[in-house]
């Protein structure tokens, strides 16, 4: 493990852009090193998805305080596209449908934007197809939804799988999975988890945002954090997730007040 | 043409009389409220020379020709569907009826390759032309017809086009009309179709050109179980104006119509959509869906959308919906979060919006040609349509 964290969040505060009084993150600290998987758990409305969105640069939220350092750079200064090009990937809780554009074209556009940024040659459709086939094999999926419009008419499970496929193609350094498990049946959940595990590497980090412990049976975290009231109120090993599953979130709250 | 046959002279006179009576429409008329045709009415146009060019490889007995070559078919159908009293421009076009292209496919005949008809101007200056097209498919005949208007508008030209489509029982027509005239052109068009029992018409109207354009599409589902797909796409910028007025008339039971018109308006461009659907008494089990989506890429662009449902039968399914606004902010962020620049994200989403109509065109070469034209305009490099 390297000495400097890949991602270091200090005192992060954020509000809803259209409602400056609505502060959702209230001084959040989090440190993630390369090679680690961190789980962020917490009750609904605690700010889990906001944290994921803020890290990706979503314009719906405004950062009002704190710092985020990613591989030694100021993440908050970067545009959403530059974050992606620098290796940050957000798997959306609600992936967006884009009518009229094929999934494979979308994937190639994204990969080429990132390759260009890295000074690599852009891939033509044939070269890209090879990359795609390798990745599909690696995560054990077929190519059935490549020529459909992006997420258009996809089932909930297909949308989530599509996010993971994008992640596999774009090979991020920091992957943030926002409730990728929500709405999945157990088989789909296993498939998605296996795909995430297949992408684990010592130079990558993953932040898994989830409401339920279930996903963590398949993606085993190094650290588990409880987010409540816009802050991390408790951190621990993977056993903390089991404790949360057994006891719920209510027992955390008094501690949160005490912090 | 040398000496016009009497029926033709009478038809022209009928058009001329009607136009003399009503003149050019003004914005005081409800149907012309958003479209000011003074640029046409106040210009003195010379009567221009124009001609149709046909590219077709057809089986024997299929007729693709002019008035002299197809007089029998023309006499039987011309002016029977596009009513001179319904639209002043149809009356005007009928008064100057001359440049006629006829496609006639006999019953139970299938034309495998698309029949391509393009209308061209000859000569220069402020000229007016009245291209007329008649497509007649006999019972169970099948064909694809592409009608294009591309080369007017280098100067202040005025096209006043009328197309009549007649489908026999069980006939099936794929019809694509492309308008890519120059920015100085005024383009007025009427397409009127009449469908027999169990016939299928899949129509796509594309407006990319002309400074001022108006297209009235009228479809009568005159036989039981007729099926209509009526789609349209406009991609405009600058000070271009397009006005689509559609009227779908369900006259008999078990008919279905699916209508999708998408418009992309940038800079000061302006779009009008008026979609009228009539379900006549007795046209039970009609299934009709109308969708009009308008994408406004600039704060100065404008679109107006008006559905008009007139339903006189009780056992029917009719839905309609319209959208109007800028690109979806969440979708833009989604693309940016995958590394696309804001400009690339915008182009791709806009293209997808247009491709949603293009991908429904069955003929692949035609679809690809339009796809290239749209991509060139929006700065999307390679084919991406789903």
The predicted complex's ipTM stands at: 0.94
Does any domain span residue B57?
yes
> CA-to-CA distance for B253 and B63, rounded, in angstroms?
32
B212 sits in which H/E element: strand B212-221
Longest dimension (CA), chain B: 69
Chains A, B: CB contacts within 8 A come to: 100
Same domain, B136 and B281: yes
Cross-strand partners of A23: A15
Q: Which residues constitute the domain of residue B183?
A: 6-326
Does any domain span residue B120?
yes
Same domain, B312 and B359: no
> CA-to-CA distance for B4 and B1, rounded, in angstroms?
7
Report residue A11: phi and psi, to 5°.
55, 35
Listed residues B326, B358, B375: the one ending a domain: B326
Q: Do A95 and B336 touch (CB under 8 A)?
A: no
Same domain, B313 and B356: no
Listed residues B326, B351, B372: the one ending a domain: B326
Same domain, B198 and B147: yes
The partner residue sitting opposite B336, judged by closest CB among A81, A103, A106, is: A81
Does any domain span residue B287?
yes
Listed residues B293, B310, B326: the one ending a domain: B326
B153: left (phi over 0), alpha (psi -120 to 50) or beta: left
Does any domain span residue B123?
yes
Does any domain span residue B59?
yes
Contacts of B385 in chain A (CB under 8 A): 100-102
Same domain, B70 and B180: yes
Same domain, B319 and B335: no
Contacts of B386 in chain A (CB under 8 A): 99-103, 147-150, 152
- Using one digit for the tens of pLDDT, what is the confidence trace for A149-202? 999 999 888 899 899 999 999 999 999 999 998 888 888 888 888 888 988 899
Does any domain span residue B1?
no
Structural domain total, chain B: 2
Residue A57 makes CB contacts below 8 A (sequence gap 6+) with A78, A79, A80, A83, B333, B336, B337
Does any domain span residue B27?
yes
**C-alpha closest to that of B269 among B232, B290, B242, B230:** B242
The distance of Cα A9 from the centroid of its chain, to the nearest Å, equals 15
From first to last of its 386 residues, what are the pLDDT tens digits of chain B? Answer: 457 899 999 999 999 999 999 999 999 999 999 999 999 999 989 888 778 999 988 888 999 999 999 999 999 999 999 999 999 999 999 999 988 999 999 999 999 999 999 998 876 788 899 999 999 999 999 999 999 998 776 788 999 999 999 999 999 999 999 999 999 999 999 999 999 999 999 999 999 999 999 999 999 999 999 999 999 999 999 999 999 999 999 999 999 999 999 999 999 999 999 999 999 999 999 999 999 999 999 999 999 999 999 999 999 999 999 999 999 999 999 999 999 999 999 999 999 999 999 999 999 998 999 999 999 888 887 655 55
Judge residue A247's burial from the number of C-beta atoms within 10 Å of its C-beta, 0-12 exposed, 13-18 middle, 19 or more buried.
exposed
Does the pLDDT of residue A259 top 50, yes or no? no
Same domain, B285 and B355: no
Q: Which carries the bigger pLDDT value, residue A73 or residue A45?
A: A73
Alpha carbons within 13 angstroms on the beta-carbon side of residue A83 total: 30
Q: Do A110 and B359 touch (CB under 8 A)?
A: no
Contacts of A90 in chain B (CB under 8 A): 337
> CA-to-CA distance for A137 and B371, rounded, in angstroms?
32
Residue linked to tokens 């797909």 = B229
Same domain, B285 and B267: yes
Does any domain span residue B160?
yes
The partner residue sitting opposite B337, judged by closest CB among A80, A105, A111, is: A80
Contact by Cβ (8 Å): A217, A192: no
């Amino acid at each position: 493990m390297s000495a400097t964290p890949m991602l270091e969040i200090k005192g992060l505060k954020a509000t809803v852009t259209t409602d400056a009084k609505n502060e959702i993150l209230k001084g959040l600290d989090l440190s993630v090193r390369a090679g680690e998987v961190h789980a962020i758990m917490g009750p609904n409305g605690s700010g889990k998805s906001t944290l994921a969105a803020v890290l990706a640069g979503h314009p719906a939220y405004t950062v009002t305080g704190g710092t985020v350092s990613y591989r030694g750079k100021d993440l908050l200064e970067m545009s959403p596209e530059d974050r992606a090009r620098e290796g940050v990937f957000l798997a959306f809780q609600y992936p967006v449908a884009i009518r009229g554009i094929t999934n494979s074209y979308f994937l190639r556009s994204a990969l080429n934007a990132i390759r260009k940024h890295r000074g690599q040659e852009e891939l033509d459709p044939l070269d890209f197809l090879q990359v795609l086939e390798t990745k599909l094999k690696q995560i054990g999926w077929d190519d059935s939804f490549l020529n459909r419009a992006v997420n258009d008419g996809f089932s909930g499970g297909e949308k989530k799988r599509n996010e993971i496929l994008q992640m596999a193609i774009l090979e991020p350094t920091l992957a943030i999975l926002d409730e990728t498990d929500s709405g999945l049946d157990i088989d789909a959940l296993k498939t998605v988890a296996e795909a995430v595990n297949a992408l684990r590497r010592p130079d990558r980090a993953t932040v898994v945002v989830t409401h339920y412990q279930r996903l963590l049976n398949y993606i085993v975290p190094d650290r588990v954090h409880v987010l409540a009231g816009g802050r991390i109120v408790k951190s621990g090993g993977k056993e903390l997730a089991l404790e949360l599953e057994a006891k719920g979130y209510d027992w955390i709250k008094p501690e949160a007040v005490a912090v | 043409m040398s000496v016009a046959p009497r029926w033709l002279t009478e038809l022209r006179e009928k058009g001329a009389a009607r136009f003399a009576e009503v003149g050019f429409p003004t914005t005081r008329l409800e149907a012309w409220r958003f479209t000011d045709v003074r640029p046409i009415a106040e210009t003195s146009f010379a009567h221009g020379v124009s001609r149709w060019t046909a590219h077709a490889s057809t089986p024997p007995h299929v007729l693709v020709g002019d008035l002299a070559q197809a007089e029998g078919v023309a006499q039987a159908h011309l002016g029977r569907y596009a009513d001179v009293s319904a639209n002043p421009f149809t009356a005007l076009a009928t008064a100057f009826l001359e440049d006629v292209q006829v496609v006639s496919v006999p019953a139970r005949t299938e034309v495998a390759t698309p029949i391509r008809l393009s209308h061209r101007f000859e000569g220069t200056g402020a000229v007016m032309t009245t291209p007329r097209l008649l497509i007649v498919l006999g019972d169970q005949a099948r064909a694809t017809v592409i009608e294009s208007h591309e080369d007017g508008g280098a100067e202040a030209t005025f096209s006043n086009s009328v197309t009549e489509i007649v489908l026999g029982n069980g006939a099936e027509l794929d019809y694509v009309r492309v308008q890519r005239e120059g920015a100085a052109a005024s383009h007025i068009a009427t397409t009127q179709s009449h469908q027999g029992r169990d016939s299928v018409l899949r129509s796509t109207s594309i407006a990319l050109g002309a400074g001022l354009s108006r297209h009235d599409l009228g479809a009568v589902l005159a036989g039981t179980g007729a099926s209509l797909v009526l789609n349209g796409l406009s991609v405009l910028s600058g000070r271009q104006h397009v006005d689509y007025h559609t009227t779908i008339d369900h006259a008999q039971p078990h008919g279905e119509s699916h209508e999708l018109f998408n418009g992309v308006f940038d800079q000061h461009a302006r779009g009008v959509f008026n979609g009228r659907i009539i379900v006549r008494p007795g046209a039970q089990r009609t299934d009709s869906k109308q969708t009009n989506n308008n994408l406004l890429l600039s704060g100065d662009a404008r679109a107006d959308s008006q559905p008009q449902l007139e339903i006189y039968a009780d056992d029917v399914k009719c839905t309609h919906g319209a959208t109007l606004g800028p690109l979806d902010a969440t979708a833009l962020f989604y693309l940016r979060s995958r590394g696309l620049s804001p400009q690339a994200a915008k182009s791709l989403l806009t293209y997808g919006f247009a491709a949603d109509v293009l991908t429904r065109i069955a003929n692949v070469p035609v679809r690809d040609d339009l796809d290239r034209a749209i991509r060139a305009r929006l700065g999307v490099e390679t084919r991406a349509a789903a």
